[in-house]
Chains A and B, each alone.
Chain A
Amino acid sequence: MIINHPLLGPRDAQEFTYLGDANLINRPDWQAEDAVDQFHEYLYQRDNPAGKHRELWYHEAGDRSWLVVTRDTLTHEITGVELARDVALKSGRGK
């Protein structure tokens, strides 16, 4: 597969390490009353869609960017690639 890196252009997927669902960015609040439940949900309850899937890839053999890749799990078509850092900032993650 080829992942079109937002900064570097098309790169072979072999240069990347796969992590999983991009929802891993949305780490729960540790001080919430039901923090254990929330973390359990966050870590273990993943969707496994036959179709579009937003997932985390790490450009280990490249610029060390974490990317959010939108990939169709049936066809491998990739319809979006973003820097995970931008996604995280946009979703309100900070310090």
Chain B
Amino acid sequence: MHSLKPLTPLGGTTPRRDEYPGLILMENPDWAMASVAARAGSVKKLASAFTTFAQGKLAAVESIDNSGKITNFWTAPDQWMVMAPFASHESLAADLKAALGNTASVVEQTDGWCRFDLSGAHAVNTLERLSAANSRRMQANRVCRTQIDHLGCFMLCHKAGQDFSILGPRSAAASLHHALTTAAISIA
């Protein structure tokens, strides 16, 4: 076991938690992530190899698949982001590469992102001040890539109108957090 202590994207040793009337905002560093992109002509082979590995399915366009042991969501044509709990899956990328072989290009993305979970009745009121995405009508298990505070982010909906995650570039975590909290306070 190595000796290096991790920091969260916001620079803490523990994740940041903010609470507002109708909204809980949580920094969430507990997900390992890896991108999976199909090699040319290998989408079908990849899909079946992935199902063998994760039991779930590769998600449809702008969707999240939660049906297996680990989650994935669509990011681009023939490309997905796979997510699993960090504590048990820090080696997610290597494990995926081993399982998927030459059907896919796998890249570790765990620390490419910061993740904030928004929960509560004011979640959409907050998000509609930040993103052009129609968060108010977003269904559960849908995802879209959108701009928040000029940053390319993924918006994941876990429960319509209620529970969302925002994945943004890790280096801009502080700015993204500031934008989220500012909008949360702004709601009349």
Contacts and interface: CB of A to CB of B under 8 A. Distances in A.
Interface of A: 7-8, 12, 14-15, 60-65, 83, 85
B12 interface: no
Interface string B76-91: 1100000000000000
Contacts of A15: 132, 146-147
Most buried by B among A8, A15, A60, A61: A61
A7 B145 contact: no
Given A62-B144, A65-B77, A83-B77, 17 more contacts: A7-B61, A7-B62, A8-B62, A8-B144, A12-B132, A14-B132, A14-B147, A15-B132, A15-B146, A60-B152, A61-B145, A61-B147, A61-B152, A62-B145, A63-B75, A64-B76, A85-B77
A63 B76 contact: yes
B132 A63 contact: no
A7 B132 contact: no
A12 B76 CA distance: 17
A7 B144 CA distance: 12
A21 B62 CA distance: 29
Interface string B118-145: 0000000000000010000000000011
B147 A63 contact: no
B147 to A, nearest CB: 4
A60 B61 CA distance: 17
Interface in B135-187: 144-147, 152
A65 B62 CA distance: 14
A78 to B, nearest CB: 17
A11 to B, nearest CB: 8
Contacts of A8: 61-62, 144
Contacts of B75: 63
B146 A61 contact: yes
